[in-house]
A and B are shown apart, each in its own frame.
Chain A
Amino acid sequence: MKKELQPPKWIYNILERFCDPYLWEGISGDLFESFLENVETKGVMRARLIYIFQSLGFLRTKFKRKEKRLTNMKSIWLNYFRTSIRSIKKQKVLFGINLIGLIMAISCSLFALVYIDDELKFDTQQSDVDRTYRLYKRYINIPENVDHLTYETSGMMGPTMKDEYPEVDDFMRVCPWWDKVIISYKETNLNTENFYFVDSTFFEFFDYELIQGDPSTVLTVPSSIALSESFARKLFGDEDPIGKTVVGLNEIDHTVTGIFKDPPRHSSLQFNALVSWSTSVPGLGPLRFRWMNNWLAQGIFTFVKLENNADPLALTEKLPEMMQNHFEERADQYFLKLMPLKDMYLHGDNIRANRGMKSGSITFVYMLGFSAFLIFLIASVNYINIALSRATQTRTEVGIRKVMGSSRKQLMGRFISETFLSTTIASILSLILVIWFLPTANMLSGKELPLMAFLQPLTLLTLVGFIFGVSLFVGTYPALVLSSPPISTILKSSNGVVGSTGWFRKMLLTLQYAISIFLIICTIVVIRQTDFMESKPLGFDKEQVLILDVGNEVRPKVNVLENELLSHPNILSVSTTRSTIGTGSYSTTVIPEGNNDEINTRIFGVDQEFFETYGVNIVAGRSFIKNSIADSSNLMVNQAMVAFMGWEDPVGKHIRFSAEGNDLPIIGVVNDFHIHSLASDQIEPMILYLDVVNQSYTSVRIGNGDLKETMNHVQNTWDQLAGRTPFNAFFANDWFNEQYEKERKLLKISSIYSFISILLCGLGLFGLTALLLQQRNKEISIRKVLGASVTSIISMMNKQFLIIILVSFLIAAPLSYFLISDWLEQFAYQITVGGVPFFLAGGLTLLISVLIVSWLSIRSASVNPSENLSTE
């Protein structure tokens, strides 16, 4: 028979399973006969269709297979369910341990899942996300020992790429301003957090929604500004903002031409004011920022949109050629690359200068997911271990069920249904718990996950997935083991361990402990590193130093400000400098005495009061003298500079700023002090010079008096001098602490995870020991009767766990050492790992375990032996 002449097999199979076997031959025969006839008259296709419809007609109870076996299945399952509830009730402590474990595991996983899902959503809502890229570069400068990735590009790169390469469809330049910009309208002055210069095609390039204004022209005219909905409401209240004039950066008047919807939460670009790029172009706009529009300056960000199907790699390969043609002097230092827009948020961790944009960290995402998985493993192990240990208790039940004719499959169903019950309860409680702790979790992780993220279909589906997945994954193995013993062994003896599960249980326990020790070691190292960075002496006194951003308005009156501030008894010293802690710094090339080549150093302009204000020590020579004109051509250096040059006696040595420049003498040496985050920057050789012209930041050393009252004085002084510039000040130590935000976030999360892991391990051990003791209580009683002491019983119980902990320590220590060394690599200043974290983690685990086991053993050993032995 030809193959085409077969009716559809699938429906045939379904029907065959469904129909009563006696009727089936007649039915299938009739169907086939009618099918063949239809093939003749109506063609194969229609015949098949008819066959399917006819078959469907047979799906009625009249033809259903009548199975006697099925009839009492319902009551059997009901019975399983009831037995499960009973066994849960009987073992409240064990059930509690399992439940806590499952709740922890499911909560952690659920949170991690929602968090990761949320992180992955960033920037994906842009319609052209697949062909939009962000330009970044690798900056290699061998003499200066520079090799890093940075987002900084020049203003000419975007336009040139569009002009010269047909596959570049469009470009977009974005220049987020470095600090807050004040926007003023009439009497209202507001700080914008994120003030961007953007090309006129911004609203066409990206999908951000413009509420008022024409997307194609809104940012064309110089001095145009578009504001976010919420910002405009704060600035204008109920007035219509369009066409109004506001004062912005550098006191320039801007005309409001558009209002846009606040950027969505899932957007890396976060801005509340957009200014037209033409504003900055010399000859066009009032700002004349040449550095935003030439090749040399590297301060702006560039996005490009490629044609459909264009290969970004092929384009990247052409970019050195563009650099060679237009910017030859940097062609061997800047290597341009393209970062897909959708990866920008998570994968830009190691690319510098991502100012004014939100970013996540793929490392953190991995860590979160991995930790959740580990917790999950620990909880699963607890569950399996405890379930296996209960074998002796369930064997009677299994035996009787088997005698009554229950099959292995059914018995497995009995045990899986118990797991199912626990998991369902745990899942529901987890959801409640996670939602309950959402504000805390948000605070810890620095994210704003909305409540709705936990009630979306994905989350709820996952929860259902958890229930079934865990029930099968965790429940199957114990079910297999528990249902395995042959009837004869069950009914013969009333003791002994089922199957050869002893070694398996020990393996699981080892795994569990290894995970826990691993997490604790990592946490301890993170704690120590963060603590090290926060407490390492910085070379100056970081406490009680307030730094004020003077701004353009107060700059001319900075002497008045200083004097006014000093008039307060609790203000000990005031210094005004071009840059200071937390405000960036400058570098230059110099030719020091005894060196023929230029070297790269930090250069730091200070006034005479700087050293006193910051408590920086002069270690050799002298400091700058107040009102000394001669000192304006004298220099000071830091110890790193001395060490770098290998000078024996640095005072009196000379430094030149260029080959033709004057020799400037060194009059003093200061101790090394940090001006950057300890996480990212080493102390570099530094030259200090007297600069009382460029004054941008006023640093105030506050004494130990009433801080609040002093702050009021500073604030009042500011308000008297400043009209429209808001008070903008921060403490030096706060700034340093902010630098370690990322580490602190990691610290919090890893602490929580390791706490949960040790808690779960402890609980698991508790349950397991309790069960073991229960099974062996006769043995223990007999030992006691024969003269064993409580101590010997305790050591007997502890011995087996000690070996397990030792083995897991041996597994966890090297693994965590590798991970930790890798993590520490990124820090400019890092702790040496040493033995402490390992001993601490191992010791802690050991201590907790010994305490648990001993306590339970004492409790069980102190029972009067007659109580245990009198029953049989």
Chain B
Amino acid sequence: MKGTNLGELEELILLATASLYDNAYGIAIQKEIKAKCNRSISISTVHAVLARLEQKGFMDSRYDGMTPERGGRRKHLFRVTKSGQKALLQVREQRETFWQGIPSIAFEK
């Protein structure tokens, strides 16, 4: 099933969104990823991925939280949906299966 396959960036952003919970919007997600993984992703890329994830149904979004730092604009807040959660779990399980199957001798010292 093609739709449920998550890209690496998609996965990161889904995770960041989930961890930010009620404050997941573009800049916050970008910063979260920078803080946790030390990866710089351009803001436009973040938005593009967010839009794609929303299209796939892994996220939904709403507008809320007007602040002066944003020149009076509301934040575009994202939240992971049930199917998004499922997709994340699926990825995690797949990886777990792999990890459990790897003999310890497989990695050279």
Residues in A lying within 8 Å of B, measured CB to CB: 23, 25-34, 36, 54, 57-58, 60, 62-63
Contact = CB atoms under 8 A, between A and B. Distances in A.
Given A29-B73, A30-B25, A34-B27, A60 B44 contact: yes
A33 B44 CA distance: 14
A58 B26 CA distance: 13
18 contacts: A26-B25, A26-B74, A26-B75, A27-B47, A28-B73, A29-B26, A29-B71, A29-B73, A29-B76, A30-B43, A30-B47, A33-B27, A33-B69, A34-B27, A36-B69, A54-B43, A58-B47, A63-B51
A57 B45 CA distance: 8
Contacts of A62: 47-48, 51-52
B100 interface: no
Contacts of B71: 28-29, 32
Given A32-B70, A32-B73, A62-B52, A26 B47 contact: yes
Contacts of B42: 54, 57
A71 to B, nearest CB: 20
Given A25-B63, A26-B63, A32-B70, 11 more contacts: A25-B73, A26-B75, A27-B47, A29-B26, A29-B75, A29-B76, A54-B44, A57-B43, A57-B45, A60-B48, A63-B51
Nearest to B77: A26
A34 B45 CA distance: 14
Contacts of B45: 57
Interface in B19-73: 25-27, 42-45, 47-48, 51-52, 63, 69-71, 73
A54 B43 CA distance: 7
Contacts of A57: 42-45
Nearest to A54: B43
Given A25-B76, A36-B69, A30 B26 contact: yes
A63 B74 contact: no
Contacts of B51: 23, 62-63
Interface residues of B, number: 19
Contacts of A60: 44, 48
Closest 10 CB pairs of A and B: A26-B76, A57-B44, A29-B73, A30-B26, A29-B70, A32-B71, A58-B44, A62-B48, A30-B27, A33-B70
Contacts of B44: 54, 57-58, 60, 63
A3 B38 CA distance: 34
B43 A31 contact: yes
- For B25, B48, B71, B75, the residue with the greatest tally of chain A CB atoms inside 10 Å of its CB is B71
A356 to B, nearest CB: 71
A6 to B, nearest CB: 9
B48 A63 contact: yes
A31 B75 CA distance: 11
Contacts of A32: 69-71, 73
- For A29, A33, A36, A57, the residue with the greatest tally of chain B CB atoms inside 10 Å of its CB is A29
B7 to A, nearest CB: 14
A58 B75 CA distance: 17
A27 B51 CA distance: 11
A57 B43 CA distance: 8
A5 to B, nearest CB: 10
Contacts of B63: 25-26
B69 A27 contact: no
A34 B43 contact: yes
B50 to A, nearest CB: 9
A59 to B, nearest CB: 9
A46 to B, nearest CB: 16
Contacts of A26: 25-26, 47, 63, 73-76
A849 to B, nearest CB: 68
A27 B52 CA distance: 15
Contacts of A33: 27, 69-70
A5 B37 CA distance: 31
A63 B74 CA distance: 18
- For A25, A33, A54, A60, the residue with the greatest tally of chain B CB atoms inside 10 Å of its CB is A33
A23 B63 CA distance: 10
Contacts of B52: 62
Given A23-B76, A25-B74, A26-B26, A63 B47 contact: yes
A27 B26 contact: yes
Contacts of A27: 26, 47, 76
A31 B73 CA distance: 11
Contacts of B48: 60, 62-63
A83 B43 CA distance: 48
B80 to A, nearest CB: 17
A26 B70 CA distance: 9
A27 B70 CA distance: 10
- For A27, A28, A30, A62, the residue with the greatest tally of chain B CB atoms inside 10 Å of its CB is A30
